Amino acid sequence: MATILSSLSCNLDENILLASLPLFELEKVEAIEWSFDTLFKLNTIPDWFTELLNSFSNKKKLIGHGVYFSLFSGIWSKEQQAWLNHLEKVSVIFQFDHISEHFGFMTGKNFHHGAPLPISFTATTLSIGRDRLKRIYHSCKCPVGLENLAFSYSLEEVKKHGEFLDSLVDTVNGFIILDLHNLYCQCKNFNIEFDDIIQLYPLNRVREIHISGGSWEDSKVITGKKIRRDTHNNAVPEEVFQFLEHSIHKCPHLKYVVLEQLGEGLDNEYKRKLFQQDFIRMDGIIKKENYRQPQSKKNNFLPALPLHVGQPVNNQLLSDQQSCLSYILENSTTYLHAMQLLQSSILSHTDWEIEKWEPFMLDTAIAIARKWKNGFE
């Protein structure tokens, strides 16, 4: 049995399925990752897709990836409880080998609206995050983990991210998804070397790696500067493959490497061929590592002791700050306008450290928040 499994992010999207079909036919796909909470608009899942999920579920090679939970929302919501109820039901139907979610909180006033953005790294957010992870575990009864975020406001924030993730998941003996394209974004946006950033992450907690592509945007703030965005709509950059080669052997409990791409980036045969080539190349790197490193005992990433879940942890001030930030990002006309509003808001001179935010990343946050203001349509 392979130590590390070559995996695909496979959701109910025609372009993704058309791109993936030749890989399934060649029996190259060893596991699939399914974003189980993205079908909220559908009452039922097509039988053929259910059969696909079941075929991997029965082999314990199905992993679930959440999008909409908003882990760090300051006040527990009925939508979050509904999300957990849905997860509990889906976990009875399918055998997930693990469940993961995105780091951050969703901007936007309504559930399914907004974009995932960073939170302040404080004892309050740590307490809320740990509470939410326990609730996810109680709903799925399998290992629970978090994915590192692509976006940061400052280099200081970039450097703190790995340590904070480690502290978060420790309570549930959780794992980390190391998204290498997200690290690529950090490296390019903040001019930091991969070798320097990778050592800031607890690689002994990495159970899954993501690779994907993204896009460049010209900064409106600094002439000539390009911002790397984690848009998942293009082929995997050469450097991300190099990151995989340089990091795969440093993650002793790695079980899955997942290729991700959105269907909108697979809308013609040429792009689908590139996707297939990316998977074959990823698979080659994995096979080489599996040959070099024979199967060894892995961390099961299950809690050592029973987890107590009481009343949800809430913090009204944090919720007010998040609402304030969301409103400013979604309604500002420029980064200067946003900074003026932030400096006169309840976020000024707090643990959010808005005074240290890079103008070009604040401008990017405005673009992200405004794009997804009305939800992930």
Give ∠ CA 204-251-27 in degrees, rounded to 5: 130
pLDDT value of residue 114? 58
Instruction: Transcribe 23-52 into DSSP letters.
Output: HHHTT---EEEE-TTS-TT-SS--HHHHHH
Q: Which two tokens stand for residue 259?
A: 């290729």
SS3 annotation, 235-275: CCCHHHHHHHHHHHHHCCCCCEEEECCCHHHCCCHHHHHHH
Amino acid identity for residue 179 in this structure: D
CB 72 within 8 A of CB 40: no
Q: Give this prediction's pTM.
A: 0.95
CB burial of 223-245 (b: ≥16 within 10 Å; e: otherwise) equals eeeebbbbbbbbbbbeebbebbe
pLDDT value of residue 105? 86
Longest dimension (CA), the chain: 59
pLDDT value of residue 2? 58
Say how far residue 339 (Cα) sits from the centre of its chain.
27
d(CA 57, CA 60): 5
From residue 106, alpha-carbon distances to 101, 117, 189, 375 in Å are 12, 6, 22, 10
pLDDT value of residue 43? 65
The secondary structure of residue 204, as a DSSP letter, is G
Q: What phi and psi, each to the nearest 5 degrees, are found at residue 144? A: -125, 140
Could you list the pLDDT tens digit for every one of the 377 residues in the chain? 558 999 999 999 999 999 999 999 999 999 999 999 887 556 678 899 999 999 999 999 999 999 889 999 999 999 999 999 999 999 999 999 999 999 988 765 543 455 678 999 999 999 999 999 999 999 999 999 999 999 999 999 999 999 999 999 999 999 999 999 999 999 999 999 999 999 999 999 999 999 999 999 999 999 999 999 999 999 999 999 999 999 999 999 999 999 999 999 999 999 999 999 999 999 999 999 998 876 667 789 999 888 999 999 999 999 999 999 999 999 998 999 999 999 999 999 999 999 999 999 999 999 888 876 655 44
R_g of the chain, CA atoms, integer Å: 20
pLDDT value of residue 112? 45
Helix (H) or strand (E) holding 216: strand 215-218
Helix (H) or strand (E) holding 33: strand 31-34
d(CA 141, CA 207): 17
pLDDT value of residue 42? 62
